């Protein structure tokens, strides 16, 4: 397959990413609910004599979406879409292409050309990690552009495009800012790719072997939605921490809100409880389900179109 796998995966990923971008934006906004600009203050609030303020009620995905449209307009649903396209071209094209390469090399001819589940997971872990490292700059830009509208006007970054975001980040914060939260991005991508791609292949093979459905649209939709659910449950905690680390605003000469992923996780759990790691799960599964369905249905169709090339 070689380059063909990268082309097929890239086309399917861009279509899926653009189709579900508004859901991803709502997910990011929900994951940032309850976050303070100075998390450390929340940890020490009990040491003061003043009674702690009750936490503000958390809005659901529909309420977040309605508020977003009312305050920022319908076009805000596609804030950061240029970064999504770049992210899919870098991250998803790489992971889909590499997974396809591993699949071709590691498939067992004696088992009908399929891979064992352990090999599928290993292929997903490796492909996801490499893809995330390649696509991290676009990922940071995407999170910031999606989250910008929730900030007070004076604090907004107001990036014009993904290229503007990356250029200004390098200029104001240094090249290393492009890989802020990269360890989280890599860990999340490894989990997502291993669970998403491996489980899709596993569910699809199971459906076909048991004769539940033929190899067609019904099988592709069923297997991909199941894969999306598995990927959502596996990756949501890492996704919450990744979003917060990437979105944190570091003022010159000031201590950053989080020193790293572990610090962010601990402060989040202490201030908001362990279930804070599953903030945005409903929009995550609402987005991950359709994204995975569009991804694999498009991928299967693209494969048919490019079969003779």
In tens, the pLDDT along 207-230 reads 999 999 999 999 999 999 999 999
Report the number of secondary-structure helices (H) and strands (E) in the chain: 12, 0
In tens, the pLDDT along 179-211 reads 887 887 898 899 999 999 999 999 999 999 999
Question: Of residues 244 and 44, which shows the higher confidence score?
Answer: 244
Q: What's the predicted TM-score (pTM) here?
A: 0.74
Gap between the Cα atoms of 278 and 87, Å rounded: 23
Compute CA 63 distance to the chain's CA centroid, rounded to the nearest angstrom. Answer: 21
In tens, the pLDDT along 34-74 reads 765 444 434 344 444 445 555 556 677 788 889 889 988 89
Task: Give, in order, the Cα–Cα distances in Å from 69 to each of 73, 137, 150.
Answer: 4, 27, 12
Gap between the Cα atoms of 138 and 49, Å rounded: 44
226: its two tokens: 């199941």
Cβ atoms 17, 292 nearer than 8 A: no
């Amino acid at each position: 397959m070689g380059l063909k796998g990268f082309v097929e995966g890239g086309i399917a990923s861009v279509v899926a990413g653009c189709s579900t971008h508004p859901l991803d934006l709502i997910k990011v906004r929900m994951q940032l609910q309850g976050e303070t600009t100075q998390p450390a203050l929340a940890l020490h609030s009990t040491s003061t004599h003043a009674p702690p303020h009750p936490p503000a009620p958390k809005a659901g995905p529909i309420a977040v979406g309605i508020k977003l449209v009312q305050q920022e307009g319908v076009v805000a649903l596609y804030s950061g879409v240029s970064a999504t396209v770049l992210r899919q071209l870098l991250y998803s094209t790489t992971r889909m292409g590499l997974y396809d390469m591993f699949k071709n090399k590691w498939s067992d001819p004696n088992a009908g050309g399929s891979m064992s589940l352990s090999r599928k997971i290993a292929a997903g872990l490796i492909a996801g990690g490499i893809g995330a490292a390649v696509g991290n700059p676009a990922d940071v830009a995407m999170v910031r552009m999606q989250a910008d509208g929730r900030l007070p006007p004076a604090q907004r970054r107001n990036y014009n495009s993904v290229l503007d975001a990356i250029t200004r980040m390098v200029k104001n914060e240094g090249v290393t800012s492009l890989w802020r939260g990269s360890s989280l991005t890599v860990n999340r991508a490894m989990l997502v790719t291993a669970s998403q791609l491996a489980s899709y292949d596993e569910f699809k093979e199971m459906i076909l072997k048991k004769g539940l459905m033929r190899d067609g649209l019904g099988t592709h939709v069923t297997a991909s939605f199941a894969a999306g659910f598995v990927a959502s449950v596996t990756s949501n905690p890492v996704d919450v921490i990744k979003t917060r680390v990437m979105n944190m605003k570091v003022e010159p000469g000031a201590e950053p809100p989080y020193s790293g992923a572990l610090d962010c996780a601990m402060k989040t759990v202490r201030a908001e409880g362990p279930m804070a790691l599953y903030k945005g799960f409903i929009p995550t599964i609402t987005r991950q389900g359709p994204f995975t369905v569009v991804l694999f249905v498009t991928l299967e169709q693209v494969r048919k179109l490019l079969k003779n090339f």
